[in-house]
Structures are given as C-alpha cells and as structure tokens.
Amino acid sequence: MISQSSIQNVLDAARVEEVIGDFIQLKKAGSNYKGLSPFSDERTPSFMVSPVKQIWKDFSSAKGGNAISFIMEHEHFSYPEAIRYLAKKYNIELEETQQSDEQKQAASERESMYLVNAFAQDFFMNQMLKTDEGKSVGLSYFVERGFTEESMNTFKLGYSPEAWQALTDRAIEKGYKLEYLEKTGLTVVKEDKKFDRFRGRVIFPIHSLTGRVLGFGGRILSKDKKTAKYLNSPESEVYHKSKVLYGMYQAKSHIAKANNCYLVEGYTDVIQLHQSGIRNVVASSGTALTEQQIRLIQRLSLNITVLFDGDAAGMRAALRGIDMILEQGMQVKVCTFPDGEDPDSFAKKHDTDEITRFLEENAKDFIQFKANLLNQEASNDPSKKAEVTRDIINSIAKIPDLIQQEIYIRTCAGIMNISEEVLFSTLAQIKAKVERDARKQTRQQPQEPLQIVSPPGEEIKKVDRQKVLERNIIKLLLLYGDQKGEFEDFILKENEEGELELTVERNEQLVFNKIYMELQEDETEFTNQTFKSIYELIIAQFTRQKSIDHNALINNSDGEIQQEITSTLLENENYNLSRWDSKNIFVQTKETLDPKEVLQTILNLRRHLISKKINELMLSTKENLSKSHSDILEEIRDYNKLEKVISDKIGRVM
C-alpha cells in the first residue's frame, strides 16, 4: 500500500501538461493546450488540457480526468502503478509496504508478464556486467561498436549466456511462473524440454512510452549461417511489434521539443545517433513501417525525416514507407547516407555538429528525393519519365490536405519540367479512379437479401428531462458554486381574495447556498447516481472549506465521476475545438455567472417534479385506492395551481 501522504506529494508535483506532453504533442490554445487524441484515430484535435484546472478531456472518446487517470487510461496501469510512474518521473520517494507473495500471485496476467520482462532485463544486464562470460562476449561487443557505459545504461543493454536454461532457472528460482516466461517468449517450451530463447545473444530491450519492458531483440554473435542474426520476442499480450518503435521511450521528449522525428532501421542506428547527440530518433526495428507506428510519432510531431543507407536497397526501403506517412497528413523528408555508410557507421566517424549539418543539408522533400531517384532510372527515356511523374502524383494524391496537394503539384511541375495543368489533370484522374474502385468494391460486397421488417413495438426513447436538469445543477455548482450572485426570491402569499400571488425580494448569496437551500426545501433527491455522488462530494467539500476545489474532487473520485466533472469544466473548449466560428456559427459560451440561469434551472426542476407528481395522481384515480377520488382531484388542483405559479416565476426570470 502507498501511503496517503506519498500520493498527495505526487498529486502536488505532477503537472498534467508535462505528463501528457510526454505522450502527445500539445499546442497552445489560449490558456489551454490541444492535441490529437491518443485514444482514437483522428486528424483534427479533440483532446484538451487545462493547466489552470490541472485536468484533461478527450472529446472523441469522452474520457477525462487528471494526470493519474491519463496514465491509467493510456498505459492500462492500475492506480498504484500510475502513482509509482509519476513518483519516478518527479523523483518522489514513496512510502509503501512490500508486496507479499500472495499479492504478487494475485496480479493480473498482463502485469505478471511485465514483471517477468522487468526481471529478465535486470538479469541480462547483470550477466553482461558481472560475469566473466558476459564481460568477454557481450560487453566487449558493445564496446567494439563504440557504445559508452552511459548509452548501455540508457538503453538497458544486456547479454544472455550460452547455457540452455540460465534465465529460466533463475526466474523460477525467484518465484516467477514458467507460464509467463513462455507467454512472453523468454522461454521456449517443447514437450518436457525448456530453453532460453535468447541464449548466446546480446540483448536490446524494447520499451513502452512509459519505460516498461514490452519485449526484447537479440543479436547472435557467432557466424552460424543457419541461425537468424536477429531474433525478437514473439507477439504477446504486452508486445505488438506493429505498434512499437525502438527508442521511443528515450526519444519522446526530444521529438516533441525538436518537432521532428528521425526514423532509422536498426537498434544500433538509434543508439549510435543518440550517443552522438541526435536524440529524436527511433527505429522500426527491421519491420515494415505500419500505420500504428506512424501515429505513435504523429502524437509528438507532424514531421518525419527518414534516414536510410545509401545503397539501392536502402533507397527502395525509404520509398515504401513514404506514401503511408503522407496518408496520415504528415510532412516527410528523406536523407540518404553516402555509399557504404549507414546511420550507425556515419555517426561513429563524425561529431554532433557534423552530423546535424549533414542531416540539415541532405534531408530532401519527398518529391525531390523521389524525382531524383526515379529520374536516374528513367534517364532520357520519355515513357519512363512519364511513369516516374505518375508515380510522384500517386504519392501526392494520398495527402489529405488540399492546400498541401497544390503546393506539391507546383513543386513537381518545376522539378519534372511539366505544366501544372497536366499534373492537376492527372491528379484528378487518379483521385477519380480511387473513388470508382472504392464504389466498385462496395458493390461487389455480398448484400443481405431485402427484408420487410415491421416497425418495432418499442417507443422512441424520450429525453430524460430530470437527468438534463440534474446535470445543469451540477454544472452550475462546479463552475460557479463559490461565487456570489444577486438572486430574486419569489415569496408566495395569499391575497385578500384568497388567491396566490408573488412578491419579489432580492438578496446576495453564494450559488452553492442558493442551490443547496432550494433543494433542501423541496426535499429533492438526485435520481442519477453519478450526479448524486458528485453533489455529495461538493457538499462535503464546501462544508469543510467553504470553497470548491476541482482537483480534489477529481482526485477523490472514480473514472465515471472524473469524466463527468472534466466534461463540465472543459465544455466551452469543445466548441473551440470544433471551430464553429469558421463556419459562421457563433456559440455563446458561459464564462461568468448569470443568476437567472441558476433560478431557471431550480424552477424548471421544481416544475418537472410537480408535473411528475400530477401524472402519478392522475394515474392513481384509475386504480382502486383507499383515498377518495375527490381528495385526489383536490390535490391535483393544488399542484396545478403551484405549477402555474412556478411557470409565472420562470416567465419573470426569463
């Protein structure tokens, strides 16, 4: 258990914009920040962060909360795990009791796999640094590659010994289950035999954005041609290679700061460039680039520079990923190294300034790169030149932004010496063909036979009026609860003729007091459990400190309540994200207290409850009840009078 004082220390230190900024690129939007949702695929921002309120809201998925809830949602952490992550980030020492063996066994399967991977990482590092075999084989290999002790520690490099079951035996001895060693791929089990997957290899751990060990890459050092040079962990519950980029944990803050990501092929390329001062670099780890990997970069920057070997194979590899990057609406450049060089070897031979200058001078826009590469192949052949041009226009057609398309068309026209009109016409043809193919594919899909379905017996679900009104009351309390306003109190009196009439008195009081006293007077109970819980939290907090602390409300509540509170507090930002003003639709936002709105909400709730009571009484006249119909009708008349009075009040407020 983590002590409450330690949790409070973490809450006090954690800045929501800093925590979330490690995972997505945030841009200033007034007093807040906005970015692309990490929980859904989108190209326009729907994610908002408020540094003032220390909360976030994702309007695309309806999720929201504070720094802790973001880590829990994004990394699928438990509450204690999120606290530990933030404590590590802010160098806060936690007071907690040691987990018992029973608690370890009770951990989820996913968590058990993370624990096994973390143990394996430490095992591999210790083997490399503290055993004779590890020093002479693993450590010497990395030293020969030019890696410093700092780099080896940063990337947690290690070595798996030649013994068949060294890791497996040690893990089982320490209480880790064979089941999870097998599921993570660390141990291979065949019938009654078991052995270490990575034995005799140097180890490259693969980390998540928060630094958890997802899997491993292992390079063999012998020259056995029958054995794969590189071996990766198999797909598992925690490791999906199509969604992971090597070095992203170490590079994420540098990518956001530089607003650019260098993309390379291998582990050693990343480590060598990082060691040389180029730290905004990640690797696809030898796999074909995927949309998920591109979107991982997109959260931090819209700019990618692809670095590849100078040979033909490297250049072809660069071309394969370009179109996919363009489809995601990103800016892409390509930089190739001289023949015989790759990022690893080039970085060894040059200092930081030389590498930086080379990358800046040789990173070409994708059109220039593609045109130069393909023109070399086309030579002076007109038909091949036409083919090259069409290939480039095909890439431009994948760009979702029309303005960017036009700019690239004009650039291509200048490079290829072809009129813009011809290129625009070609672009239109390509886009029309894509649309035709899409329609054709839709038509070819098997259609369900037409069926005549009778109208469903259920009525269309009506709007829950009481839920809407209860939400409005919570909203008023959260936004203006500790503000003062001048309210009109309508006093109901009986005149000389025995009729009810209203007199008005004005007084200044806190919004919280006004709402609380009115609801108490009517003995009103919230019917929605979420709103009821929020109301009780607000009452308890206001009773203690005579003010409303949004952070404390969020920190002391569960996910559903957090989402409702953040939705309310950042409601205006949703309008800003939608940019209604660009469509000449101007939404009036509520930034200051309007006492009339408070009165209208209370009176509307009161009228709604009276209307419900009248309906219940009307229904009771149709049933056999002990109460006489005349008594019920008299009660209905009284409620009708009261409803009319309240309607008059609402009319006066409006």
Distance in angstroms (rounded) separating the CA atoms of residues 262 and 278: 9
Specify the pLDDT at position 492: 60
Residue 546 phi/psi, 5-degree rounding, is 60, 30
Low-confidence ranges of the chain (pLDDT < 50): 106, 450, 454, 586-587, 652-654
Greatest Cα pair distance, the chain, in angstroms, is 109
Which residue is associated with the tokens 């009129």? Answer: 419
Distance in angstroms (rounded) separating the CA atoms of residues 465 and 71: 35
User: Please, what sign has the CA dihedral across residues 40, 44, 46, 50?
Assistant: positive
Do the beta carbons of residue 73 and residue 40 sit within 8 Å?
A: no
CA 573 vs CA 386, 399, 588: distances in Å: 49, 28, 12
β partners of residue 307: 335
Specify the pLDDT at position 343: 92
Residues constituting the chain: 654
Specify the pLDDT at position 577: 58
Structure tokens at 330: 């990103």
Distance in angstroms (rounded) separating the CA atoms of residues 2 and 94: 7
Domains of the chain with CATH codes: 4-89 (3.90.580.10), 107-239 (3.90.980.10), 368-437 (1.20.50), 465-576+590-653 (no CATH)
CA atoms within 13 A of residue 50's CA, in its CB half-sphere: 21
Encoded amino acid at 625, one letter:
L
Specify the pLDDT at position 654: 46
User: Please, what sign has the CA dihedral across residues 209, 211, 216, 221?
Assistant: positive
Strands 47-50 and 55-58: antiparallel
Do the beta carbons of residue 518 and residue 602 sit within 8 Å?
A: yes
Which residue is associated with the tokens 């998540």? Answer: 208
Distance in angstroms (rounded) separating the CA atoms of residues 372 and 303: 21
Distance in angstroms (rounded) separating the CA atoms of residues 154 and 90: 18
Which residue is associated with the tokens 């063999």? Answer: 220
Which of these, 468, 445, 466, 366, lies nearest to 408 by C-alpha position?
Answer: 366
Which of these, 18, 107, 20, lies nearest to 69 by C-alpha position?
Answer: 20
Beta strands in 469-594 (DSSP E): 484-494, 500-510
> 3-state class of 188 per DSSP?
strand
Specify the pLDDT at position 5: 81
Question: How many beta carbons lie within 10 A of that of residue 5, not counting itself?
Answer: 9
Q: What is the DSSP string of 453-501?
A: -PPPSSPPPPP-HHHHHHHHHHHHHHHHTTSEEEEEEEEEEE-TTS-EE
SS3 of the chain: helix, strand, coil, percent, to 5: 55, 15, 30
Specify the pLDDT at position 310: 60
Q: Cβ contacts of residue 212 below 8 Å, gap of 6+?
A: 75, 114, 117, 118, 238
Distance in angstroms (rounded) separating the CA atoms of residues 305 and 343: 13
Distance in angstroms (rounded) separating the CA atoms of residues 328 and 399: 8
Structure tokens at 594: 């309007």
Do the beta carbons of residue 283 and residue 276 sit within 8 Å?
A: no
Which of these, 648, 650, 620, lies nearest to 635 by C-alpha position?
Answer: 620
Between vectors from CA 335 to CA 331 and to CA 337, what angle results, nearest 5°? 170
Do the beta carbons of residue 508 and residue 484 sit within 8 Å?
A: yes
Distance in angstroms (rounded) separating the CA atoms of residues 14 and 87: 9
Specify the pLDDT at position 106: 47
Residue 617, judged by CB atoms within 10 A of its CB (0-12, 13-18, 19+), counts as middle
Do the beta carbons of residue 25 and residue 299 sit within 8 Å?
A: yes
Angle at which helix 595-620 crosses helix 629-653, to 10 degrees, equals 160
Between vectors from CA 234 to CA 191 and to CA 287, what angle results, nearest 5°? 145
Residue 130, judged by CB atoms within 10 A of its CB (0-12, 13-18, 19+), counts as exposed
Distance in angstroms (rounded) separating the CA atoms of residues 185 and 234: 6
Distance in angstroms (rounded) separating the CA atoms of residues 275 and 152: 10
Do the beta carbons of residue 263 and residue 283 sit within 8 Å?
A: yes
Which of these, 279, 263, 262, lies nearest to 271 by C-alpha position?
Answer: 279
Distance in angstroms (rounded) separating the CA atoms of residues 517 and 639: 21
Distance in angstroms (rounded) separating the CA atoms of residues 583 and 580: 5
CA 342 vs CA 71, 442, 622: distances in Å: 37, 45, 88
Do the beta carbons of residue 333 and residue 306 sit within 8 Å?
A: yes
Encoded amino acid at 479, one letter:
L
Strand order in the sheet with 27-29: 27-29, 32-35, 47-50, 55-58, 63-65
pTM metric for this prediction: 0.69
41-44, Cβ contacts within 8 angstroms, sequence gap of 24 or more: 41/295, 43/328, 43/329, 43/400, 44/577
Do the beta carbons of residue 205 and residue 121 sit within 8 Å?
A: yes
